[in-house]
Amino acid sequence: MAASSTPTATVLLLVLLACGGATAELLGLPLLPSNNEASNADSDAGALHGVNYASAAAGILDNTGQNFVGRIPFNQQIKNFQTTLNQIKGKIGASKLASSLGRSIFYVGMGSNDYLNNYLMPNYNTRNEYNGDQYSTLLVQHYTKQLTSLYNLGARRFVIAGVGSMACIPNMRARNPTNMCSPDVDELIAPFNSKVKGMVDTLNANLPRAKLIYIDNFEMISEVLRSPWNYGFSVVDRGCCGIGRNRGVITCLPFLRPCPNRNTYIFWDAFHPTERVNVLLGKAAYSGGTDLAYPMNIQQLAAWQP
């Protein structure tokens, strides 16, 4: 996802995370159109103010989420972004485009689906090919190349969101015969997040006039789960909308009746947090300390001068 420090700058949203909408709102941005909406618009005006390239079930690896029809892998999202650039360049010119891209913030959050819809899926052979550490290394190698591709297209300010804790999401509880969390899942995620943070340091050192920051979604979600009552949540073990045990076997579907008071729930469906949690994550990413937003927060990144 991308946001801008100035309302006149071109804003390009690559990946909309759970907290992305709340962060964009704090930056004074409107709800941005999807790439499909922007592409089918009568003019390019929508693209000039931002585009959301997010795709459900998409991952760093092209084969992630292949059991979901129509998902758009991150590599294809980058190609879609390049198509948008070509369209805008014809309207405002290459020089103005480059300047606008330099003032934009690219909010990218990938990795969770590469575990949920790849490594942890029984119909994938990935777990037989790689152990946890090897797989996290593979993902970060691809991720580094993808972010460098964005840099080569003109991106300069990046927010890289880590994968949040998934051990206690309703889907994981539903898979467990005793309805308990699955800490082994978080043990898989930990090395990936650590390597992504290291990748941020490496790219900051190697990409001139670029600044990347890392958002620790894992710690943010873990804090809410440790002390839900401190944040006004009373339902922690099931989704507000879904089917099956813990409302976590099948995620929320159209026309399915949700819970009466979603504000008391941490999880909206089998996988995702509720809006209230998203707002908490967004505020922490926007103005939090270096323990959550490293080496600076989004508000500071928006004001950063190369």
**Whether the Cβ atoms of residue 11 and residue 32 lie closer than 8 Å to each other:** yes
User: Average pLDDT, stretch 97-124?
Assistant: 93
Domain ranges of the chain: 2-170+181-229+274-303
pLDDT of residue 56: 87
d(CA 174, CA 270) in angstroms, rounded, equals: 9
> pTM of this prediction?
0.91
pLDDT of residue 8: 30
d(CA 55, CA 24) in angstroms, rounded, equals: 18
**Whether the Cβ atoms of residue 238 and residue 247 lie closer than 8 Å to each other:** yes
pLDDT of residue 41: 66
pLDDT of residue 106: 92
Other residues' Cβ atoms within 10 Å of the Cβ of residue 201 = 13
Instruction: Say which residue, 163 or 51, is predicted with more confidence.
Output: 163
Q: Is a pLDDT exceeding 70 seen at residue 22?
A: no
What is the chain's mean pLDDT, rounded? 89
Categorize the per-residue pLDDT at 26 as very low, low, confident or very high, splitting at 50, 70 and 90.
Answer: confident
Cβ-based burial of 44 (10 A; exposed 0-12, middle 13-18, buried ≥19): middle
DSSP assigned state of 230: G
pLDDT of residue 69: 82
DSSP string, 238-297: EESSEESGGG-SEE--TT----S-GGGEEESSSS-B-HHHHHHHHHHHHH--TTTEESS-
**Whether the Cβ atoms of residue 150 and residue 110 lie closer than 8 Å to each other:** no
pLDDT of residue 21: 63
| CA atoms within a 13 Å half-sphere pointing along the CA-CB vector of 28 | 8
User: Average pLDDT, stretch 243-272?
Assistant: 96
Q: For residue 81, which amino acid is it?
A: F
pLDDT of residue 20: 56
Top-level CATH class of 2-170+181-229+274-303?
alpha beta
